[in-house]
Amino acid sequence: KAVISLSSTVDRFNDDIHHKGGTLLSANLTWSGTMLAYLSRPPDPAIVGERWREMWLKRLENEPLPIMGWLQHQRRDAFWRHGSICEDYSAIEAAVLMIAGWADGYRNAPPTAAANLDAPVKAINGPWIHKYPHFAWPHPRADFHAEALRWWDRWLKGKRNGAEKLPAYRAYVMENVRPRPWRDRDEGRWVAEKSWPSKAIRERRLVLNPGGALEARARTAAGAMRLSSPENVGVMAGEYFTIRPDADLAADQRLDDAGSLVFETAPLEDAVEILGRPRLTLKVAIDRPLGNLCARLIDLHPDGTGFRVSFGVLNLAHRMGNAEPRPMRPGEAETVEIALDESGYRFLAGHRIRIAISTAYWPMVLPPPGHVTAEISLGGDSHLTLPVRRGGDVIDMPEPADPDPLPHYREISPGRVARTVEHDLTAGVTRYRVHDDGGAHEIPETGGLVAREMKEETFTIRPDDPLSAVSETHWVIERSRGDWSVRTVTRQRLTADATHFLIEASLEAFEGDRKVAERRWREKIARDCM
């Protein structure tokens, strides 16, 4: 009768952790690494008894390598269409409440569902990471329990509590946000649109003009500009799948801007507020059949700090759709559109609106087979379209009464989280590392079960060679209680040549110090316009 969906997607192919704009996300590998590790965890003897070892070994013997199923489907086929509600919005009859956060990769689903579902539907977008809104960062939080109870009471119990009369879309419009090592709270306010799409939203077009100007009108004899980004542009992108409001989130954009074409307005005389999906239209030619483009919408503060408001990527072979990719004709210009992510943001007076364009966005997006040079026509041929609203309104969105609702586990040993970028100038290599040791904790009400999970993710690339990209994951999972202890170690490695992806992976399981199981994979999958 009813659905509450958080941090979800309406499009399994193009708006999930695997692909974006037809490009291949590195999260395809890292999520596979996460699931390979999680699937290797043993049953708990305290729950299943002496059968635990037999059950565990059988599962390890049959455990799949998740990335294999995903990487075999590099275009929008039945594998992805299954479970994508955008294939038939009319099939959903239940009342739907969809919630997401601007700081999460799954930010597009709520307004997209609100715009397309025939069933009763309400949408909420807050400032949050990939967490429930009553304990997520950045603040302000929202009282998810109150929202959920009202929704269930209305559609499951038939209570006339006005849930069906809520605004179609409630969103937190951020402003003046600065990248920080820890974003505890974002400035802004809650707004509401009675219907969505809203008639109050007006499109504003800004033209990409010579000299890096982003202006309302096209200049005559605008010409074109060439772009060939270093393959390591994108190190300030953060994660697609955000679990902490720290370096998981996009950092100051100036480093990535240095390898991009940037266009910006003059300092704004008045604030500009947007709510919706920006779009970048480009007339572009590339020198190879395959190539990617990334577009980032940036709030440029008066001191030069760049906050990424929204971004979009496009595999140019998918410019006409994801089901049947078509390589570009080298040197032949075509008009393409990059849909940036949904966003709610207010650019303040004195700030500038910047759009940055690059041919790489690594390590978030894995590179195409060749190093690409693009030529972008300026003037009326290329423009940014912003969904502008008047602003000035505000609604009340109560925060939860309990600021710390999660359980606290007894710490046995502390954890450590680190994210580093290393530019090896001697070897000409950029290395991007993620270290996440959650520490060891005793889980309440499990008879003293101690759990520890550690991961390392490493990405390397040469700025001039996309085929030098190497992506690796390494997980260690530990469980113990008294004299009982088990450990699993999993590894993955993804490389590519011009025609194939190469995957190596391993799984080792230990009971105490004794190895009890081992699996190894070595696979080769043809690239399909990726």
Instruction: Give pLDDT tens digits for 63-83.
Output: 999 999 999 999 999 999 999
Residue 472 pLDDT greater than 90, yes or no: yes
Per-residue pLDDT tens for 480-508?
999 999 999 999 999 999 999 999 999 99
Q: What sign does the CA torsion over 465, 491, 365, 68 have?
A: positive
In three-state secondary structure terms, 486 is strand
Percent share of the chain, pLDDT over 70? 100
CA distance 264 to 354: 4
Token code pair at residue 387: 């969904």
pLDDT of residue 276: 98
pLDDT at 88 over 80: yes
Please compute the mean of the pLDDT values over residues 400-405 and round it to a whole number. Answer: 94
What confidence category does residue 445 fall into, taking pLDDT thresholds of 50, 70 and 90?
confident
At residue 221 the predicted structure's pLDDT band, cuts being 50, 70 and 90, is confident
Q: Quick check: 388 pLDDT over 90?
A: yes
Mean pLDDT of the chain: 97
Indicate whether 440 pLDDT > 90.
Answer: yes
The DSSP-derived string for 350-418 is: T-EEEEEEES--TTTB---SS---EEEE-EEEEEEEEEEE--------PPPS-S--S--PEEEE--EEE
Torsion of CA 434, 437, 443, 447, to 10 degrees: 130
Q: What is the average per-residue pLDDT within 429-455?
A: 96
Residue-level pLDDT at 222: 82
Instruction: Give the Cα separation of 475 and 455 in Å (integer).
Output: 4
For position 308, what pLDDT does the model report?
Answer: 98
Q: What percent of the chain has pLDDT over 90?
A: 98
Distance, CA of 67 to CA of 505 (rounded, Å): 10
